Structure 1
Amino acid sequence: MLHLSKAINWFEIIKRGLLAALFLLILSFPVYGDSGLEITSIEGGFDGVHKVNGWVPFVITVKNYGEDFTGDIQVISDSYGYEFKSAYSMPFNVAKGGEKQVTIVAPVNRTRASVDVQIIQNNKVIKEQKYYFKKSLNPNTLFIGVLTDDASGLRYLSGGDFSSQNMPIQSEMAALNEKTFPSNEKVLENFNILLINNFDMSTLSSEKKELLVQWVEKGGLLVVGTGPNSKKVLNALPEELKMVDVAPTVELSSFLAFEDYTGKEMTSGGVRMPVSMLNVKKGSILLQQEDIPLITSTQFGKGFVSFFAFDAGLEPFSSWDAGNQAVWQKLVYSTIAPYFRGDELNSKIEYSFYHAMNNALRYIPSIETPSLILLILIIGSFIIIVGPVNYLVLKKRDKREWSWITIPAIVLVFSIGMYIVGFGTRFSTAVASIVSIIEYKDDSKSIDVSAHTGLFNPKRGTVRIKTSKDVDVDFTANPYTSYYYGGPQEERDKKIISKFILGDQPEVEFYDKGIWDFSSFIMKKKVAFSDSIDNSVVISNNVLKGSIKNNTGFKIEDAFIVMGNSFAKIGDIERAQTIEIDQPLENVYNGNNDYYGLMNKIFGQDVYQPVIARDDKSRLNQQRRLIFEYYSMTNRLNTSSTSTPILFGWNDADLQFDVIVNEKDVKKYYQNMIVIPMDLNFVKGETVQLPYGFLKGTVEYTEGNASANADIYNPGAVSIEGVGNAVFKFNIPSQIKVEAFTLNWHSMDMKMQGNFKLLLYNFAKDQWEEMTSFYHVDNSIVSEYISRQNEIRVMFNVESEAASGVPSKGFHGWINCPDIELEGVIR
């Protein structure tokens, strides 16, 4: 009996084991939910790499093993500030048995980041999968996108050192092709540099080429490698970017120019370097050997286009240990370095000054209230009727006991009347404050208008915003949009506060918004005009002369012209009116790049009055100052060596930007800033005086512990820690024969510390000469300090190392380029 019991026990054990094995076997097969959908792959960023605070493409592939599916697919990522999450969603459908690939772009704000990918139907999560990035790049990384058919010889671009004394900056490269090259402006902004090398540009779509041009205009550095593969690179390069013509290649066997340029020896092992003969149509030559240009540079908008006469991925350049990176360092320092500070190279620099626009958007004009006389008449009538009149009428009819009926009735009638009178003074729908920047370009009959929009909704709950199809809208542009949720931390970690619906007509949903909560976004669209802008001015004896024709289609109010740190007020210009100007320039100089002093002169300082003391006119003036501050501060990073006269003006015309909130139109208030660049004409024989701020100095080179790594409030500045030199230069228009100039070197750091010398280069004697911080050179000796290229050079020189705790030795701080005031005669 005991043996039988043991046999039964063993049988049970074996049976349970077989059942468990069968269960595990079943689990090993794919199991799909009711939808039959499977997320088969997710590709994030650039081969799994992303830049923190950058926008990232997610390529998602979905297989459908079930019936036809229609719903949404979305990426869930951290919102600005990391406290909550936002969904980036788009409509999604896939046929039975089909496979579909979609691309969603979303911001990623964390290191060691991950996102959730969800498929949604009827507000229910059907399928969800998490994606983890392979690598997160610091926002200060110099990110180089390489458009190439062969990236094997360009790996040296990763790991380059572009650090300053104050900020470590390393380079990282990402290989791109015609498919992975970004088709989204925000994604392309991840890159500080783009290199096109050994790539057939005819395979890149026209839309992506247009995006490339815009990226350079906004401040990027485009480098084009030529050499033996020049034809396939240049033949389909956008015409705007073709700064050179290319002749057949020759071979270099000597590399002295490269070695002198970098200070590093190039050992080629007998390998010759094929180089193209570049005919430079536009720009300057940074490096040449004998009569062969090797590296060129041309400013394009706020960015630069540089051409290499060689293929950057071929021997002997690709294996030149430390030398190839040194070439790139010199190129960066001579182009984008004056305003390069990590991720602030791209348009995120605007975020540093968005507070000004953020405040401007909160301006809503006062609503017209009923007149005081009308209110006095209504209140007086009420007192008389509810009192004496009511009493006398009831007394005459001997019905004084009815007063408990007549008094409430009179109160009700007057209350209804007061409500009707006051109804027009309240907002019953959402209100939009729209600040449009209308920036004209030369010879253009259509422009892109940017409309920054602040929205206030009078109801709490979900706010759904959309615009018309002709508008390109960015609902994520404002980093200052705030959100408050007082729930427990575990709920906050999961809470989705907004949903951005991507597609042909983007929409956004903000959840749990309070009454009159502020939301903002940017709209853009093209506006056509009947005539292009053609205005010009001349400067003679510090007087601005010229003509302005207003063919914008709008009245221009309170116009003024800015040139460097000087301005002239023009006044109103009616539509289609031509006015002649003859205005003295008012100069503002309290130090280098004194934008705030300039704004105080133009707009006054009444902005500092208490808000309650301001009327509509002063509040409008404050709004305009904030708009001008935002524009001028975000555009001062342009490293152009010569300023351009710019006409600014205002109007409140309706630009027909449709804004729909919860399926209803909103009340819109416009304030438009008109920006028109003007030509500066030079009349032969005329005397010209260029004021402070008009000619902008640039960093030519640095030595020792000095580095061109600018403070965003002082573009073009140099950081020095101890011993080092910073050389600045001024490029003077070739039409001007200089008769005298004054240098004013103003820096708070210079006043506080340092053992340094200020030097001016004497081209006639080929030597540096000491100067003071305020230094005037008159007509008798001025020619000695002007180069054949019409340049002036100055140096900030520090020779003594700093002792610990002794600020008088050495130097530690930021040095700005001096300001220059110049007099001359037009040749």
Structure 2
Amino acid sequence: MNYKPMKALICAVSVFLLLICAVPPVKVMAAQTPDSGQFNIDLICGLEGYSKYDSDVPVRFQVTNNGDDFTGEICLALSFENISSQRVGYTYPLEVSSGDTQTIQFVVPNLGTSLEFDISITDEDGEECFSQNLRHKIIYSDDFMIGILTDDFDAVNYLDGMAFYTDFYEMYFSSRIFSLDQETMPEDGSVLKAYDLLIINDFNVASLSQTQYDVLTDWIYNGGTVMIGTGANYEATLMPFLGDCLEGAAAGVENVSTNFGLDGYDYLRRSTPLQYEAPSAQIVEEEAELESSDEETADDVELDGNEGTEESSVSVSVDSFDTEEDVSFISQPLETVEPLEVQTAGISLESSQGYDDLLCQSVKVGDGTIIVLDFDLAVGEFGRWAYNAAAVQKILIAAAHVSDYGSLTDDFISDYYAQDMLSNFIEDRVPRLGPFVAVIVVYLVLISPVIYFIFKKKDRRQWMWLFIPVTVVVFTGIIFFMGRMMSPQTPYINYAAILKSYSGKVYEDTYFSVTSPENQEYMVQTEGDYTVRPLYTNLYAYNSYESGNNSDGFALNLTYGAGETDINAKYVHAFDSRYFIGERETVWEGSVDVDITFVVDHYEGTVTNHTGYTLEHGFLKLGNLVIDTGNLENGESYNIDSRNGVVIESYYEIPGLIFGKPSQKERMLNGFVGALRNSGYSSYQMEPGNIFCAFVDGYSADITTDYPLSGNALLWANVLVKYSKDGVYSVPNILYESQMITGDLDGMDGCFYSDEIVFQYDLSSANFYPETLTLTTPMDTAFIGCSLYCPKTESYEEIFTDGQWTVEGDDLTKYIDSSGCLRIRFFKIDSENYAGIALPAVSITGREY
């Protein structure tokens, strides 16, 4: 039989079947073309395209629906220029009626000068109905970012380009202003952190939504600074805050003649207006090159000055994105400034620091500051005055905490220190050394004496060639499986919750890390209305967010829902931690009541726990004194006497003082105090640091997961010290409430590095007669000198000599000038000494009237 035709047929059929198998299956479905015109998307990154180097970049999307009512999701996949392997997705619910616009605001890390978003909108069935790619250029700057909430932005544009100088870095920087209104005012607290200062003027605060108002006040409590202009508009700008952030009263308007004490003021200004570049968001077509738009516009800002006065200037180069601007910063002494009539409101605020010559007062609110002006920044003669910018500049320097980083806001804990607080292990999950040592001892006993003597006695020494390899394999297997059983097999989570208590409000910042022991993706969910964002720190390698060769994949995707956030991480490297922060205002039924009074030479009072939790490893820090309060059960009190406290020279000493040996809590506290210490470094104001801290037993972060979870919660509360008792008024250290005039200051540890440093203490609003001024120095008096300024002789006089560190009576009052100010100067005895010199504590005592 001829089998050749049959073989040919079989081969043909086989080839046909192979071809069918090689063709991928095709899913038959109805043709569906996304409607590219249904949505219009506007994107602005940064503050109108600008951002500071050391802050996250705010992002604002506006999605306008041109079609029918829509419900679905929008995914915003972010990648960075030159870091294309990082893809982080932000997914939000999208519910927008026909013709309406939905605004989405959040922040992203500042890892590149160009942000690119792949935008995808899906409907309720999960079908994609819109996609677009937008790219936005970011201009990074050292400028002082000011948001102005006003209905008349043009009237305050003289605030643009105000110049400031920092001694520590020998750096000039300028103010850059941005308009805010009811529509653009953020509803996300992380977005407000992009501003160094917020000014409210000629605006009805009551017109803000409740969410916007809550975000604003929360930002203040957490370190933000707000300046409020009042005058005839005080009811619109100030009254909504009274009874909430502020306590006091406001009523009536009168005209006051003033020149804001500008006679002889050294006014620093720019020689040229700031340059602005219009924000540019461009649609990126496939395979198309992006054409950058470099059109620059300048604000019409006129800088006025005294004619005929001497000016000194310094020329510097100001880097801004890829351009370089040559600017002269001019120091212009103002000799004689004619006063003007200003319409002022009658404002009286509790717990305020008054500046009568500047027509303002400042109030510490939580970690933030509210500066209330008695006048309107734009209305009347002041808005047209040639020296209005100089007056505002002087107010900011006097009444606000301006750091050497060119900021008025305090980052409570920078991302850099988050890693220090998170211990990358799970208690009771770390392999114990003991069992491994026991197995190794048994192995050594078997492999040497036992095996040798047994086989030698039975004259079977040739069996050792078999038994020894088998023993090695068996014990290797035992060690391997013990390690597998005793080590984490799934991702594990560490968290450090910081609870900040301010006047009945408690804010929670929960820092957490997720670590996978294997190349394994994971999902974690947070609940309880956290605002969650990823953390990028200087210690954090960029490649931890690599998405491989999959251009459609996410290294990280955050899906935001009602009161919860899902975190999905892919392309995970073994033991490569990823860091996040969740922020929220939490609700406590109780509080910690701290009642402390300074009496002549010591602190006394009580700390009472009403939180509903047990407080562990607590301590009270009062200036440079630390008092260990130990553990406090709910309802328990601790009696304070600072004479039993321990004097410290630095924040860094606290963890070792509270904990006898290293532990997870000790490491968290060490990172926490390190962050506090760093936030006040090199400032213009001494930080009193009167705080109470304790670990909260039983408080847990709202993180939902099947993975092992470990962490601690640390309560942090400001302490308000009372200075009056039985008619005696005693201030432990007036430097905490003084303005630094000249010098380089380490505000947290109270050291100065310059040859001299000068402080001014304002007694004009004091309600006591000063009787005694005493200096207590931790340094050898051979290293530091001190003198007081005498208004009559217009010179400094060294009165603290020969071991005499107290001045009282008429010898003290002659150094207080007519405006109620006392100026004190410290200097290094050896000007060649470049080390930091610890400042003395300057206490003052008097009788109340």
TM-score w.r.t. the length of structure 2 is 0.70
1:741 Cα deviation from its structure 2 partner: 1.3
> Which residue identity is paired with 2:161?
G
Q: Give matches, 1:693-712, under 5 Å.
A: 695-697=734-736, 700=739, 702=741
Q: Give matches, 1:545-560, under 5 Å.
A: 545-560=604-619
Q: Does 1:655 align with 2:676?
A: no
Cα distance change of structure 1 residues 105 and 529 upon mapping to structure 2, 3 Å threshold: closer
User: In 2, Cα distance between the equivalents of 1:237 and 1:67?
Assistant: 38
1:51 Cα deviation from its structure 2 partner: 1.7
Q: Which residue of 2 aligns with 1:28?
A: none
Q: Give matches, 1:189-204, under 5 Å.
A: 189-204=193-208
Q: Which residue of 2 aligns with 1:666?
A: 707
- 2:632 corresponds, among 573, 580, 587, to 573
- 2:390 corresponds, among 305, 326, 339, to 326
User: In 2, Cα distance between the equivalents of 1:317 and 1:91?
Assistant: 46
Please state whether the residue corresponding to 2:227 is helix, strand or coil: strand
User: In 2, Cα distance between the equivalents of 1:362 and 1:152?
Assistant: 52
Q: Which residue of 1 aligns with 2:34?
A: 35
1:434 Cα deviation from its structure 2 partner: 2.0
Q: Which residue of 2 aligns with 1:5?
A: none
Q: Which residue of 2 aligns with 1:153?
A: 155
1:794 Cα deviation from its structure 2 partner: 0.9
Q: Give matches, 1:435-514, under 5 Å.
A: 435-442=496-503, 444=504, 447-476=506-535, 478=537, 480-484=539-543, 497-504=555-562, 505-514=564-573
> Which residue identity is paired with 2:739?
E
User: In 1, Cα distance between the equivalents of 2:253 and 2:443?
Assistant: 93
Q: Which residue of 1 aligns with 2:362?
A: 297
Cα distance change of structure 1 residues 425 and 245 upon mapping to structure 2, 3 Å threshold: same
User: In 2, Cα distance between the equivalents of 1:245 and 1:543?
Assistant: 34
Please state whether the residue corresponding to 1:334 is helix, strand or coil: helix
> Which residue identity is paired with 2:775?
T
User: In 1, Cα distance between the equivalents of 2:577 and 2:729?
Assistant: 49
Q: Which residue of 2 aligns with 1:819?
A: 840
Cα distance change of structure 1 residues 67 and 715 upon mapping to structure 2, 3 Å threshold: same
> Which residue identity is paired with 2:42?
I
Output one character per residue of 1:736-779: Cα deviation in whole Å (capped at 9) or x when no partner: 9664512649799x98xxxx995313579885313679871255
Output one character per residue of 1:647-689: Cα deviation in whole Å (capped at 9) or x when no partner: 33336x34232434xxx52212223333355564668479999
User: In 2, Cα distance between the equivalents of 1:757 and 1:580?
Assistant: 37
Q: Which residue of 1 aligns with 2:139?
A: 136
Cα distance change of structure 1 residues 255 and 761 upon mapping to structure 2, 3 Å threshold: closer
Q: Which residue of 2 aligns with 1:307?
A: 372
- 1:354 corresponds, among 413, 416, 436, to 416
Cα distance change of structure 1 residues 759 and 86 upon mapping to structure 2, 3 Å threshold: farther
Q: Which residue of 2 aligns with 1:335?
A: 399
> Which residue identity is paired with 1:87?
V
Q: Give matches, 1:352-751, under 5 Å.
A: 354-355=416-417, 357-358=419-420, 360-362=422-424, 364-365=426-427, 367=430, 369=432, 375=439, 424-442=485-503, 444=504, 447-476=506-535, 478=537, 480-484=539-543, 497-504=555-562, 505-525=564-584, 528-537=587-596, 545-580=604-639, 584-586=643-645, 588=647, 594-596=650-652, 617=662, 621-634=666-679, 643=688, 645-650=690-695, 653-660=697-704, 664-678=705-719, 680=721, 684=725, 695-697=734-736, 700=739, 702=741, 726-729=758-761, 739=772, 741-742=774-775, 744=777
**Alpha-carbon contact 1:227-1:310 (below 8 Å) kept:** yes
Please state whether the residue corresponding to 1:162 is helix, strand or coil: strand
Please state whether the residue corresponding to 2:198 is helix, strand or coil: strand
Please state whether the residue corresponding to 2:393 is helix, strand or coil: helix
1:99 Cα deviation from its structure 2 partner: 6.3
> Which residue identity is paired with 1:500?
L
Please state whether the residue corresponding to 1:127 is helix, strand or coil: strand
User: In 1, Cα distance between the equivalents of 2:546 and 2:678?
Assistant: 38
**Alpha-carbon contact 2:771-2:809 (below 8 Å) kept:** no
- 1:777 corresponds, among 806, 812, 829, to 806
Give RMSD over aligned pairs.
5.4
User: In 1, Cα distance between the equivalents of 2:413 and 2:683?
Assistant: 13
- 1:216 corresponds, among 216, 220, 225, to 220
Q: Which residue of 2 aligns with 1:760?
A: 788
User: In 2, Cα distance between the equivalents of 1:711 and 1:643?
Assistant: 12
Unaligned runs of 5+ in 2: 1-30, 266-333, 456-462
Please state whether the residue corresponding to 2:613 is helix, strand or coil: coil
User: In 2, Cα distance between the equivalents of 1:599 and 1:55?
Assistant: 34
Q: Does 1:239 align with 2:243?
A: yes
User: In 2, Cα distance between the equivalents of 1:331 and 1:405?
Assistant: 88
1:327 Cα deviation from its structure 2 partner: 0.8
Output one character per residue of 1:219-243: Cα deviation in whole Å (capped at 9) or x when no partner: 3332222233333333434533456
- 1:276 corresponds, among 323, 345, 350, to 345
Please state whether the residue corresponding to 1:170 is helix, strand or coil: strand
**Alpha-carbon contact 2:600-2:845 (below 8 Å) kept:** no
Output one character per residue of 1:303-330: Cα deviation in whole Å (capped at 9) or x when no partner: 3222333321124222223x11101110
User: In 2, Cα distance between the equivalents of 1:279 and 1:566?
Assistant: 33
User: In 1, Cα distance between the equivalents of 2:808 and 2:585?
Assistant: 50
User: In 2, Cα distance between the equivalents of 1:36 and 1:92?
Assistant: 19
**Alpha-carbon contact 1:475-1:508 (below 8 Å) kept:** no
Cα distance change of structure 1 residues 549 and 41 upon mapping to structure 2, 3 Å threshold: closer
**Alpha-carbon contact 2:230-2:344 (below 8 Å) kept:** yes
**Alpha-carbon contact 2:105-2:191 (below 8 Å) kept:** no
> Which residue identity is paired with 2:797?
E
Cα distance change of structure 1 residues 712 and 519 upon mapping to structure 2, 3 Å threshold: farther
Cα distance change of structure 1 residues 482 and 257 upon mapping to structure 2, 3 Å threshold: closer
User: In 2, Cα distance between the equivalents of 1:572 and 1:425?
Assistant: 33
Unaligned runs of 5+ in 1: 1-31, 392-401, 605-615, 799-806
**Alpha-carbon contact 2:532-2:581 (below 8 Å) kept:** yes
Output one character per residue of 1:484-538: Cα deviation in whole Å (capped at 9) or x when no partner: 27999x9899996433334432233444221111122223455555543223345
Q: Which residue of 2 aligns with 1:230?
A: 234
Please state whether the residue corresponding to 1:358 is helix, strand or coil: helix
> Which residue identity is paired with 2:377?
A
**Alpha-carbon contact 2:620-2:628 (below 8 Å) kept:** yes
Please state whether the residue corresponding to 2:58 is helix, strand or coil: strand
User: In 1, Cα distance between the equivalents of 2:507 and 2:643?
Assistant: 33
> Which residue identity is paired with 2:116?
V
1:74 Cα deviation from its structure 2 partner: 0.9
Q: Which residue of 1 aligns with 2:273?
A: none
Output one character per residue of 1:314-366: Cα deviation in whole Å (capped at 9) or x when no partner: 24222223x11101110111122443522x54344732x83375354335436
User: In 1, Cα distance between the equivalents of 2:98 and 2:601?
Assistant: 76
Output one character per residue of 1:581-627: Cα deviation in whole Å (capped at 9) or x when no partner: 5563455466xxx33356665557xxxxxxxxxxx856754453333
1:204 Cα deviation from its structure 2 partner: 0.7
Q: Give matches, 1:14-163, under 5 Å.
A: 34-38=33-37, 40-45=40-45, 48-52=48-52, 53-63=55-65, 70-74=72-76, 76-78=78-80, 85-91=86-92, 100-107=101-108, 109=110, 113-119=114-120, 127-133=131-137, 136=139, 138=141, 140-163=142-165
Cα distance change of structure 1 residues 466 and 719 upon mapping to structure 2, 3 Å threshold: farther
User: In 2, Cα distance between the equivalents of 1:207 and 1:639?
Assistant: 33
1:458 Cα deviation from its structure 2 partner: 1.9
User: In 2, Cα distance between the equivalents of 1:362 and 1:736?
Assistant: 56
**Alpha-carbon contact 1:230-1:276 (below 8 Å) kept:** yes
1:451 Cα deviation from its structure 2 partner: 2.5
